[in-house]
Amino acid sequence: MTGPPEAEIPAVSKHDLLELVGTLFPWIADFRQRSLTDYARAVFHAEPPASSCEARRHAMLLLQRCIRRAARNAGFPDHRASYIAAQIANAPVMQAGPHLHLLIEPDAYYTHLFSLMGLNAHRRLAYVSYAVSTVKFVERGRKGPGWLKLDGDAINVFGLSRSQMIPYSVLAQNGPYRFALTNVDRADGDSDLVARLRSELPQGEFSSAALAIKQANASLWERYFDPGIDFLQIDDEDVADLVVEHLQDKSSWLARHLFGKGGFVPCLLSSTKALADSHWQGWLKNTTDLFWGSDRGHLFPLRLNGSRLEARGAEDFSLEFAADAVIEALQARKIIPNLYLMFIVTAILPGVRVLGGSRHTVYYPLMRYVFCHALATSGDFELRTAIAADRKPGIWGHRVLLADAEPFSELEMLGPGNIQAVLRKYGSLPLEEACGALESFVGDPLWANFKTRHDEGLVDVSDPEWAFS
């Protein structure tokens, strides 16, 4: 089943897409004319799952252990690390929108401001953000973790050549990396703003860009954002270690079902493929089967072929799909969990609400549908019932706030310790105004196609695929 060609899809207005979002999530429609702070308060109003089971309780314990370890590695003392871990169970919500950018990159900056509004509304003192690090330094043009705009100039964050950026993800352990902040638009030296930023970022060398960015963000958070709130970023290496813990623990639901004979994984993959051939096509793509292959930070897709994980392309890679082999490959970083497996261990199993962007609002409910369809097929109705009872499991919480100010200039102008003034400035805006032109929706052919299918009655909130939204 296919929709009309992209060229025939009419342009969709911001108003039309907000109406569609309100249809998919009726409770969001009530906030369109209310303040952004009100919406953030609702988004971060998260409580432990009303319905639980042993599989979920155990998954939450492993997630807490992962967060505690990541917090200690980030430099938090033991009591603060334990506090952050406790908070994810007491108020299970995680920001999963921005990629692993510096906090002063607009895509990250405005989302973290939005999160701060929600945290402040509930007087929370811990903030966990998953930042995907399986992204390349350059995502498009001069955008991505390897680039910044300061004073209107393009700044090469690590001073890398194109050949050093294009093939690799920021998680690549092929350093050293250092914050060079090379201005490629000025031959006459740095602006004052670039010089100030360079002086405030960590001065040492790092084995990966991901580690460098996380440490820089901890420093920027402490200076400019809210040092009273413990800010922890986890990324795909932390998730890889979490998956290892699951597979080493024979009582873990994942350890019992990932390699089992019940057919759960084949059903998961076949159900995902079936979506690609339905009117929901385009939203949940099976680019790689559960894991990415990794060759020193160069990622490549894998497929599950019988009892082996094999490269889909020309790479020479084959791995036995068995617990011991997968654990060893994860620990050696020869494979990395994909986004679906990340959400399984950090959100779907433990019952954590995840915030994301325009595409997340659709693909995450579909992930939950496919997961629960596989559960029903394998006869695990207890876990399926618990997951079905989740309230607002995935929410639009990234790129909700969009503004034209240059983040670092705005922070420098106000000075450290004045983030509350920024929050008041943006938080008082009505949601419909705060989201700007809604570029991530309006400019996306996938949403335009989805709107056409919805108007034609081909997709609807009453469809079984939307039952776990």
Residue 305 has φ and ψ, to the nearest 5°, of: -115, 95
Q: How far apart are CA 18 and CA 25, in angstroms?
A: 10
Predicted confidence at residue 1, as pLDDT, reads 39
Beta bridge partners of 292: 301, 336
Q: How far apart are CA 78 and CA 69, in angstroms?
A: 9
Predicted confidence at residue 10, as pLDDT, reads 66
* pLDDT above 70 as % of the chain: 98
Q: Is 73 helix (H, G, I), strand (E, B) or coil?
A: helix
> If pLDDT is split at 50, 70 and 90, which confidence band does 268 have?
very high
Q: How far apart are CA 39 and CA 24, in angstroms?
A: 16
Q: How far apart are CA 240 and CA 294, in angstroms?
A: 12
Strands in 312-426 per DSSP E: 318-320, 335-337, 353-356, 394-396
Predicted confidence at residue 21, as pLDDT, reads 96
Mean pLDDT of 141-164: 90
Pick from 59, 41, 25: nearest CA to 358: 25
Question: Is the alpha carbon torsion for 187, 191, 194, 199 positive or negative?
Answer: positive
Which residues, at least 6 apart from 152, have a Cβ–Cβ distance to it below 8 Å? 185
64-96, pLDDT tens digit by residue?
999 999 999 999 999 999 999 999 999 999 999
Q: Is 45 helix (H, G, I), strand (E, B) or coil?
A: coil
Mean residue pLDDT of the chain comes to 93
Residue bearing tokens 């057919």: 263
Residue bearing tokens 């092929």: 174
| Entry pTM | 0.94
Given a contact cutoff of 8 angstroms between Cβ atoms, the answer to whether 340 and 283 are in contact is no
Pick from 367, 362, 370, 371: nearest CA to 453: 362
- Under the phi-then-psi rule, with left for phi > 0, alpha for psi from -120 to 50, and beta for the rest, what region is 399? left
Q: Is 8 helix (H, G, I), strand (E, B) or coil?
A: helix
Residue bearing tokens 């906090």: 103
Mean pLDDT of 286-314: 93
Query: Would you say residue 20 has pLDDT above 50?
Result: yes
Predicted confidence at residue 79, as pLDDT, reads 97
Predicted confidence at residue 2, as pLDDT, reads 41
Neighbouring C-beta atoms of residue 121, cutoff 10 Å: 17
Predicted confidence at residue 276, as pLDDT, reads 87
Residue 297 has φ and ψ, to the nearest 5°, of: 95, -10
Query: Would you say residue 5 has pLDDT above 80?
Result: no
Given a contact cutoff of 8 angstroms between Cβ atoms, the answer to whether 257 and 349 are in contact is no
CA-based angle 265:267:268, to the nearest 5?
60
Mean pLDDT of 436-444: 93
Cα 139 to Cα 146, 179, 264, 385: the distances in Å are 9, 19, 34, 39
160-194, pLDDT tens digit by residue?
998 889 899 999 999 899 999 999 887 777 888 99
Residues 449-452: contacts with CB under 8 Å, at least 24 apart: 449/3, 449/4, 449/6, 449/9, 449/282, 450/20, 450/283, 450/362, 451/12, 451/16, 451/17, 451/20, 452/3, 452/4, 452/9, 452/10
Q: How far apart are CA 335 and CA 299, in angstroms?
A: 9
> If pLDDT is split at 50, 70 and 90, which confidence band does 4 have?
very low
Provide the Cα torsion 364, 367, 373, 374; round to 10°: -150
Q: How far apart are CA 469 and CA 466, in angstroms?
A: 6
Predicted confidence at residue 283, as pLDDT, reads 95
> If pLDDT is split at 50, 70 and 90, which confidence band does 8 have?
low
Predicted confidence at residue 9, as pLDDT, reads 59
322-337, pLDDT tens digit by residue?
999 999 999 999 999 9
Q: What pairing do the DSSP bridges indicate for beta strands 153-156 and 147-150?
A: antiparallel
* pLDDT above 90 as % of the chain: 84
